[in-house]
Amino acid sequence: MEPALPRPAGLFAPGRNCYAVAHADRVAFLVDGEAYFRAFAQAAERARHSIMIVAWDFNSSACLRFDREERAAGAPARVGDFLNWLARRRRGLQIFVLDWDYPMVFGTDREFPPLYGLGWTPHRRVHVRYDDTHPVAGSHHQKIVVIDGTLAFVGGLDLTARRWDTPDHCADEARRVHGQVAYPPFHDLMVAVDGDAARVLAGIARERWEAATQQVMTPAAGNGDPWPAGLPVDVTDVDLAIVRTLPPTPERPGVREVEQLYLDMIAAARHTIYIENQYFTAHRIGEALAARLTEPEGPEIILVTRLLSHGWLEEHTMHVLRTRLLWELEAADRGRRFHVYYPHIDGLRDGTCIDVHSKLMIVDDEILRIGSANLCNRSMGMDSECDVAIEARGNPRLAAVIQEFRDRLLGEHLGLPPARVGREVASRGSLYRAIEVLRGPGRSLRPLDKVPEWSETVVELARVADPERPVSLEEVVAEYRAADPASPEQGIHWARLAMVALLLAALTALWRYTPLAGLVSPERIVGWAHAFAHHPWAPLVILVAYTPASVVMFPRPLITLAAIVAFGPFPGIAYALAGGLLAAFFSYLAGRRLPRGTVRSLAGDKLNSVTDTLRRRGLMAMTAVRLVPVMPFAAVGLVAGAIHIRLWHFMLGTLLGMVPGTVTAIIFGGQIEVALRDPSQISYGLIAVALGVMALLALTMGRWLKEQSRHHLSHGGSHGQPSHHPR
């Protein structure tokens, strides 16, 4: 049962711009990785019942603490070993790690457990799971850690590699390495809270775990106090707003509290909006800021961001969009109230900068907000996010806390004591004028004024990297059909026919008009194929070849064509079918033995929709899935084995689904041999008939599978599909 929440007041409105307003007895602001990693380790050592870690990334090799004197006797430095040590040290302690089930494109500096296993072996009471309950191209970006249900950390830092750093951000910090490779300075923020606020965050973490695993999690007992003895308290007795983004699903609409609170904070600002963020591309946030800049007496807006991007791809996507938004705000800035800075420190390697990864907004001395949400479109509606915010509501004690924290951050960036920043801001009456007076050589803030121009084409292409909401396959198909009366399926089949025609034409040209005509004659190629067929081990090679080809997604029809040319139509088709069935059997066997999480990672994003159809329709579904390649060949076997489809349904469905394609391959094999001998004898009509029959079968089965999926969704989704409604 969730704790009773106080009646909200001021800006925060649960159900509109936040999930809940909850009380905390203690709140601490943790600046940079060293402070957070230390506080987490100290709190975890005090845990008695449970530790919950919800992450965008988790890396067992990340180092928590470098100073041996800080660690308890025997406590390892690396987070994976540390969690195992905690589990062995306290019997009954349960540790849950829920990591985003990321695609390989995000694999830099990550571990690869879905394919290779974790870098460390978790203790039996350290439960590591991967969460793929998000839209295609979305991510789980929340960073929440809960100790015993009574202390929670939330913000922008994960317990992973390349996050640890000190507020000094020294260019030559020897401890700032991962895998013996140094990485640039890294700036980020976390918040520690207790009381009802921690319990609400624990409920969000439990909901994520249950949605991802279908395992109900019992709330922690909640007795004891895991607050670290060495963690200073910044504010006591305060209400916090807990703010989320959740993408829409078939079960519930999306949650856009993050975006709404940003808009409300911008509208409420009277004097100053201070922002720190990794990205700056959210168009609705930009529109709101631009509107305030056009006001004669609107607020100053100070943005602190990073100078450089992370590689070529980000440079040509997120930084292109940042450039466009900065230009738009500068055009709207009639009173010179919009100023953009990046933190600088001497001695950094070329091509590196202080990596501003924080997600913070402070409005006047009134509202302070920290969390995981970047100022990009996908954080507003595509990815899961979680922020927390404090509102002073005219309370001078809370206003002083917010002002002091802002001065502390600016002091870090300027290399000056916070008190001096505060005095300068007070005397100048302007955050911008204070920064300009305090800026100097060496470590300081520098204006981000060298902003490149990008063409409209580049900007439009870059928008693909920052979607505001999920786009389903059905929407894409619907738009395609609206623009073109020919269906996508028809387009695909005509494209395949054109490719075959081009292949045959290319073969003709190759043999007739290039030097290969003399070196590699058609008779020689056919002779090589027949010579290969006369080896006693040749059929075994064909049989065995299908299994690795299916794993690496090598085109199996090429093996089938080779078998038909080498052995003739009927022995070739027999070997091809036998090889395909053998590959299917091995993938089914692997699916029976591999953990479900691994199967989910390997099978990809279509797993859920295919799984339910396979369960309910057995043989018919297996035949359809083999005819219509909705998933890779091996992935179908993995899923079928994992969900325990009957073996004879699986094998017979695979056989029936392979027969039309194999028969078509016989026709193509014969025509390729004809093309090698005499291209003028190619029967294009026969090829067209074969393609037409295959297209008709695929179209029919494809529509049947879509109908099954629609029927499945109209009846509440797959069995065990998690509910995302708040608990």
- Tell me if 131 sits within 8 A of 98, measured CB to CB: yes
pLDDT of residue 309: 83
> What mean pLDDT comes out for the span 455-483?
51
Lowest mean pLDDT among 205-209, 302-306, 417-421, 583-587: 583-587
What's the first-to-final CA gap in the chain, in angstroms? 8
Give 178's strand partners.
181
**541-to-127, 212, 548, 549, 624 alpha-carbon distances in Å:** 43, 42, 11, 12, 28
Q: 503-517, 624-638, 663-677: which has the highest mean pLDDT?
A: 624-638
- Tell me if 130 sits within 8 A of 113, measured CB to CB: yes
- Tell me if 74 sits within 8 A of 85, measured CB to CB: yes
pLDDT of residue 637: 74
Position with higher pLDDT, 516 vs 373 = 373
For residue 51, name the pLDDT band (cuts at 50, 70, 90).
Answer: very high
> What mean pLDDT comes out for the span 345-354?
94
Whether the per-residue pLDDT at 625 is higher than 90: the answer is no
Residue matched to tokens 């089914």: 588
Residues 6+ apart with CB under 8 A from 7: none
DSSP states of 258-303: HHHHHHHHHHH-SSEEEEEES-B--HHHHHHHHHHHTSTT--EEEE
Domains annotated on the chain, with CATH: 25-232 (3.30.870.10), 239-459 (3.30.870.10), 522-714 (no CATH)
Whether the per-residue pLDDT at 464 is higher than 70: the answer is no
Tell me the residue type at 310: H
pLDDT of residue 134: 79
Rounded to whole angstroms, the Cα distance separating 71 from 77 reads 8
pLDDT of residue 578: 86
For residue 587, name the pLDDT band (cuts at 50, 70, 90).
Answer: confident
pLDDT of residue 363: 98
For residue 571, name the pLDDT band (cuts at 50, 70, 90).
Answer: confident
Whether the per-residue pLDDT at 415 is higher than 50: the answer is yes
Position with higher pLDDT, 16 vs 715 = 16
Residue range 174-188, pLDDT digits in tens: 999 988 899 999 999
Whether the per-residue pLDDT at 398 is higher than 90: the answer is yes
Whether the per-residue pLDDT at 565 is higher than 80: the answer is no
Give the whole-number percent of the chain exceeding pLDDT 70: 66
Report H helices in 628-715: 633-642, 647-677, 684-714
Residue range 206-220, pLDDT digits in tens: 999 999 999 999 888
Measure the CA angle with vertex 725, ends 721 and 726; round to 5°: 135
pLDDT of residue 523: 52
DSSP states of 3-30: PPPPPP-TT--BTTTBSEEEEEEEEEEE
> What mean pLDDT comes out for the span 387-401?
97
> What mean pLDDT comes out for the span 289-307?
97
pLDDT of residue 646: 76
pLDDT of residue 723: 33
Residue range 688-727, pLDDT digits in tens: 665 565 555 555 544 544 454 444 444 444 333 333 333 3
Rounded to whole angstroms, the Cα distance separating 655 from 663 reads 12
> What mean pLDDT comes out for the span 30-43?
97
Q: Is the pTM of this model over 0.85?
A: no
Give the whole-number percent of the chain exceeding pLDDT 90: 49
Rounded to whole angstroms, the Cα distance separating 393 from 391 reads 6
For residue 573, name the pLDDT band (cuts at 50, 70, 90).
Answer: confident
> What mean pLDDT comes out for the span 582-592?
81
Position with higher pLDDT, 597 vs 497 = 597
Lowest mean pLDDT among 73-82, 197-206, 246-255, 669-678: 669-678
Residue range 236-291, pLDDT digits in tens: 999 999 999 999 888 889 999 999 999 999 999 999 999 999 999 999 999 999 99
Rounded to whole angstroms, the Cα distance separating 560 from 573 reads 7
Q: Which of 264, 336, 262, 261 is nearest to 300 (CA)?
A: 336
